Structure 1
């Protein structure tokens, strides 16, 4: 049962009244820490599981959190007061253990899944007719965009399309790489609805996301489901499902020359792009949400039975 659309008081009453076996918390806020507080005060006996999508101390530069100190507090409650933690990647699990010294046995890993709709993207008109490389994500420094644009600067006949939420960092990029934006070699499209995003994936040549830190971004799987090779950095949990040179390329973070090589290689090898895209789609099929749900259920049942990992 999804009970997110209630007030704080409504949530308290709901949790007390229904006596759930397992409560799955997948976000951090004053609302989402309520189950942990009720459990700590012994008002409810439910097992509380926290799904961690990232770490505040590492991701403060991502501009995801308006109040980093507040979310740091929320995160500590979720991690320490939960009965079990599910991390979206082994990369994140290691980060949690290193940052908080939480026992390894308290943390399971379930990779994010991908929705079926991304497997059936239609090729309709989008961003003109010329080929382009696609980036999808918030426009922030942690995503490695400065290095990506520096690489694009060195590659002839390469057009980059940026899609995602705008932050002040976009202004910084536009000033530093003004010639790329003025010549439309780099185009910022902004945020978009799902239908248009599906078209953006389908019409792209391949996908690139060279983040400094990303626990397990869903956009990588979305691109793979659309049949596109991906170029990512080694500082991302997505590397756990990608074999370098098979479904795409994994490059060192901040290494412009490696980005230039990977992007240029794919731009100049149409057949390789097609082959990698097919392999990427096959890998995405093994990571659909219908499969991931079963992994979650298995963990919930295990914890509800009182078993220890």
Structure 2
């Protein structure tokens, strides 16, 4: 007798702004179209056009703040218990799940080693829920978005490494290939006041400080001192006043263009109008913008603290920087990519890298893991 599989997907904000939120919606909607199972999303807020997915509102108690993660996990557990779900896939820390996608690193490690802060009551509560899931939540598979994420996860939790897989996020090439690159290039450059012949470097982030914008500006100042021509697009959200001042003090003010936050479609057009991408993050579990830039045919320069280094082949499609404070070294790498003859072959390999990491590829990998777990449940 055929039994329809009911899959529960858990994330506080589905399809909204954010890496995990976009990841969950892209993957779930593709899995829904390809596996034929019933998909139920448990979220506090959502944004979607997928009519085939059933949504369940999950309350969150956000005041006092320390209850945020605990309350979401509590209400998810109650709602899951009221249904009949053959597989639970969580993108958030909850009490139990069959699959947990690691969009971030262990919370305690993040606070101590990246933020370098003391654990607040909120942090302690979040780390507690995470530990419950990892050690007592009967999780069959942990899926990290990068090798960097997996390595740190295994440092914090002594579990069987075979239970931890790495599946990098994907990209939709149609968003890029359906546009006329020359036309977009001319249009965006005209809009931003950039000469069509100027080499353009782009940086995109919702947190300028964490993503290393200061180190990028210092490196560009070195290039400017060598009389190298370039324009630098800074897209996204951050302290624009602070970094505008920093750019002026570095004598590169007229060459830096702050666009402010832009939507996905506009950002893609900016990638297509640019020549290379740079991001010197202090830490990034993956960095979707790196793969997006590659899909636009941009070679990339990233720090070794970015999980997307899984996709970067040194001197083939970009460069990985270990010491982000070495402005001279970084300026040398940028200078190489400002040369069109050097840049062109790296740009081609960058695009091919993106073509091998589409959402269809990601979906196939997740679908195989779903099947393995569902098969175990049938035994």
Task: Tell me whether 1:76 sits opposite 2:144 in the alignment.
Answer: no
In 2, the alpha carbon distance for the partners of 1:59 and 1:162 equals: 26
Q: Deviations over 1:118-169 (max 9, x none)?
A: 4324415222233320011122433222211110111122222111222x5x
In 2, the alpha carbon distance for the partners of 1:174 and 1:86 equals: 39
- Partner residue of 1:158 out of 212, 220, 230: 230
TM-score under structure 2 normalisation? Answer: 0.68
Name which one, 1 or 2, has greater alpha-carbon Rg. 2
Query: How far did residue 232 of structure 1 move?
Result: 1.0
Task: Tell me whether 1:265 sits opposite 2:315 in the alignment.
Answer: no
Q: Deviations over 1:32-58 (max 9, x none)?
A: x2xx3xx5xxxxxxx521101122345
Query: How far did residue 14 of structure 1 move?
Result: 5.2
Q: How does 1:293-308 map to 2 (within 5 A)?
A: 293-306=363-376
Question: Is the contact made by 1:62 and 1:140 (CA closer than 8 Å) also made in structure 2?
Answer: no
Corresponding residue for residue 43 of structure 1:
none
Query: How far did residue 205 of structure 1 move?
Result: 1.0
Secondary structure of residue in 2 paired with 1:305: helix
Question: Is the contact made by 1:181 and 1:187 (CA closer than 8 Å) also made in structure 2?
Answer: no
Q: How does 1:11-26 map to 2 (within 5 A)?
A: 15-26=80-91
Question: Is the contact made by 2:222 and 2:328 (CA closer than 8 Å) also made in structure 1?
Answer: no
Q: Deviations over 1:202-230 (max 9, x none)?
A: 00111111112222111111000111111
In 2, the alpha carbon distance for the partners of 1:24 and 1:258 equals: 43
Corresponding residue for residue 214 of structure 2:
146
Question: Is the contact made by 2:221 and 2:251 (CA closer than 8 Å) also made in structure 1?
Answer: no
Which moves more between the two structures, 19-28 or 245-254?
19-28
Q: Deviations over 1:69-94 (max 9, x none)?
A: 44434433443323321001111100
Task: Tell me whether 1:218 sits opposite 2:288 in the alignment.
Answer: yes
Instruction: Give the 3 Å change call, closer, same or farther, for CA 186–98 of structure 1 in structure 2.
Output: same
- Partner residue of 1:93 out of 147, 150, 157: 150
Corresponding residue for residue 66 of structure 2:
none
Instruction: Give the 3 Å change call, closer, same or farther, for CA 68–274 of structure 1 in structure 2.
Output: farther
For structure 1, list consecutive stretches of 5 or more residues without a partner in the other structure: 40-46
Corresponding residue for residue 288 of structure 1:
358
Question: Is the contact made by 2:204 and 2:236 (CA closer than 8 Å) also made in structure 1?
Answer: yes
Question: Is the contact made by 2:167 and 2:362 (CA closer than 8 Å) also made in structure 1?
Answer: yes
In 1, the alpha carbon distance for the partners of 2:298 and 2:164 equals: 32
Higher relative contact order, chain-length normalized (CA < 8 Å, sep 6+): 1
Q: CA RMSD in A?
A: 2.7
Q: How does 1:102-113 map to 2 (within 5 A)?
A: 102-113=159-170
In 1, the alpha carbon distance for the partners of 2:123 and 2:214 equals: 24
In 2, the alpha carbon distance for the partners of 1:182 and 1:220 equals: 24
Question: Is the contact made by 1:235 and 1:253 (CA closer than 8 Å) also made in structure 2?
Answer: no
Instruction: Give the 3 Å change call, closer, same or farther, for CA 57–188 of structure 1 in structure 2.
Output: farther
How many aligned positions are there? Answer: 287
Query: How far did residue 248 of structure 1 move?
Result: 1.0
For structure 2, list consecutive stretches of 5 or more residues without a partner in the other structure: 1-38, 44-54, 60-74
Query: How far did residue 59 of structure 1 move?
Result: 4.2
Secondary structure of residue in 2 paired with 1:141: coil
In 1, the alpha carbon distance for the partners of 2:209 and 2:316 equals: 28
Corresponding residue for residue 44 of structure 1:
none
Instruction: Give the 3 Å change call, closer, same or farther, for CA 182–207 of structure 1 in structure 2.
Output: closer
Task: Tell me whether 1:185 sits opposite 2:255 in the alignment.
Answer: yes
Corresponding residue for residue 42 of structure 1:
none
